[in-house]
Chain A
Amino acid sequence: MNLNATFISGRTVNQGCNLENKTSKAYFDAAAYCEMNSGDASSLGVEPGNNVKVTTDHGSVVVPMAICDGNPDGLVFIPMGPWANAVVDPDTKGCGMPGFKGIPAVVEPTDEKAPTMPELMARLK
């Protein structure tokens, strides 16, 4: 089953700690995950660490799932960074700022592997 969700991204402490360490495993662990609440995770049938595929009109990305019970139902979060960027909205709506928050998304369980940072960037060149 799939989860129809609203996607947001943002800063976390660990993502910040690894801003100058972006080729490391620590950066992957800090920025490549998708948070949702326990109820949404159960409805998807996924456990923390299982991979999920997040798809929006702008792209899709595979990352491990993590639980954050501060999220209301249907709100999913990926820390700012290359994994979030794969699904955000590049349209600035005439004010310079892309849509990094509030993007309609579909989340589904997957057996696909989460890409590394260089693998994600290689898709773009």
Chain B
Amino acid sequence: MIIKDVLCPFCGCLCDDLAVEVENNKVVDVKHACKIGASKIMGHDRIKAPMMRDDKNGEFREVSYDEAINESAKILANSKRPLLYGWASGVCEMMKKGVLLNEEVGGIIDNTASVCHGPSALGVHEKGLPTGTLGQFANRSDLVVFWGCNPVQAHPRHMSRYSVFNKGFFTAKGRKSRKVVVFDVRKTDTAEMADEYVQVNPGEDYLVISALRAVVADKADVVPDSVGGVPKEKLVELGEAMKGAKYGMVYFGMGLTQSRGKYKNIDNAVSLITELNAHGKHSILPMRGHYNVTGFGQVCAWETGFANAVDMSRGIPYYNPGETCSNDLLMREEIDAAMVIAGDAGAHFPAQSIARMGKVPVIQVDPFHNPTTEMANIVIPTKVSGVELEGTAYRMDAVSLRMRKLVDVDFPSDEEVLDKIIAKIREIKGASS
């Protein structure tokens, strides 16, 4: 059986044109996906049953779901400062339960944006976000800038579906309809395919953006001969090209959010786009990583008022990145228990942060054995959302789409596990009050 129009549960492109062949309830072939999406949908060895251990250096023993869930509930109910981290590889329905669990335990809920586009949210708080949808960009943009992102490696079908090679209403000639510029600290595979590669010194993106803003404001006379490793004449040429575009588009990634300046880089880039809108139409979009990391921001914002790093210890939502993000809490050694769900802190946090997880009880809810498993005391395997479970996800441009179920499995969903943990916590807290 071939299932058409399948959505890909890997990156924020959320490609929705896959064809997946299923035989005897097993995925046997994936068509139209990129290498990463196909690999994800074809599947990997998974954790077979819930597991527990007291000593993190000891062997796991298999336990029942009830035992693992009850023990997890006890840990979270008795914790004074639990961190609930991950969430991006799940559907919105489980995220809603995550926010509820966080209310129950008075903990901190934080998602993978903390080590991804968290600073972009801060930049948006400062300056807003002149943006649109990938459909608009695909049909309109004649100048495409990739700044500190490398879609060839990280979002492999972005350039063919939305930004570079696709033909659109006002971009009928596809690639020839667009000028493509890449700003990066090294000549990436994306830079190899661009019309212009602009090499920026590491950590000096802010300066280059400021120089472009000066050119756009007709103040090129104040720009020094070279800024951030980019010659002035190149900056003037690019600034004028941006002003001359009918629809300019800037896509940005970790090259801006993780390097020096962090959220200030985004703040400055948004200002550049706002100013360019006096000359033509211009938009900017973060290249979101996990397929539903955008969805967590949406769910958490409509439930609590904030997109991530929400501390409920006061009984009301409190948000202060730099204080309530996962790595801040771990480095201050405040956390006394952690649940890692639909994300892998063990693989993507600095070693010194993860070391704190080595000292406190860690509950992992995930289909796969990964570095977080190495740090865990309790492991609860669940369904793979978008392959074994349907649900809602938000594409990188915040368009919501419905993920499809392709095969049936016996594992519970994240939502079912969260429901049971919440019920058990209420039971424990009810008995003690």
Contacts and interface: CB of A to CB of B under 8 A. Distances in A.
Interface in A30-75: 58-59, 68-72, 75
A1 interface: no
Given A95-B122, A97-B325, A121 B375 contact: yes
A117 B374 CA distance: 9
Nearest to A119: B374
Interface residues of B, number: 71
Nearest to B362: A125
Contact of B254 (A10, A85, A121): A10
Contacts of B254: 10-11, 100-101
A70 B353 CA distance: 31
Interface stretch (B63-71, B113-121, B172-180, B274-282): B113-121
B360 to A, nearest CB: 10
B263 interface: yes
B153 A13 contact: yes
Interface stretch (B39-47, B128-136, B219-227, B244-252): B39-47
A58 B352 CA distance: 8
Contacts of B268: none
B199 to A, nearest CB: 7
Given A17-B36, A98-B349, A122-B57, A75 B368 contact: no
A21 B375 contact: no
Contacts of A96: 114, 118-119, 122, 309, 321-322, 324-328
B185 interface: yes
Nearest to A123: B351
Interface string A75-111: 1010011100110111111111111111000000000
Contact of A85 (B119, B354, B359): B354
B327 A82 contact: no
B210 interface: no
Interface in B63-81: none
B375 A124 contact: yes
Interface string A1-29: 00000101011110011111111100000
B96 to A, nearest CB: 23
A11 B263 contact: no
Contact of A23 (B34, B153, B189, B369): B369
A96 B350 CA distance: 12
Contacts of A23: 45, 369-370
B367 interface: yes
Contact of A13 (B156, B263, B352): B156
A84 to B, nearest CB: 9
Contacts of B367: 20
26 contacts: A11-B254, A11-B289, A13-B153, A19-B347, A21-B39, A23-B45, A69-B187, A70-B191, A82-B346, A85-B347, A85-B351, A92-B325, A95-B118, A95-B263, A96-B322, A96-B327, A97-B118, A97-B325, A98-B115, A100-B115, A100-B254, A101-B255, A101-B258, A117-B374, A118-B374, A123-B351
Interface of B: 10-11, 34-36, 39-40, 43-45, 56-57, 114-115, 118-119, 122, 150, 152-154, 156, 185-189, 191-192, 199, 202-203, 254-255, 257-260, 262-263, 289, 309, 321-322, 324-328, 331, 344, 346-355, 357-359, 367-371, 374-375
5 closest cross-chain pairs (CB), A and B:
A96-B325, A125-B358, A70-B187, A96-B321, A121-B374
Given A85-B351, A102-B202, 19 more contacts: A10-B150, A10-B153, A10-B255, A16-B153, A17-B35, A21-B39, A22-B369, A58-B351, A59-B351, A72-B199, A82-B346, A88-B351, A89-B350, A92-B328, A95-B263, A96-B321, A96-B326, A118-B374, A124-B351
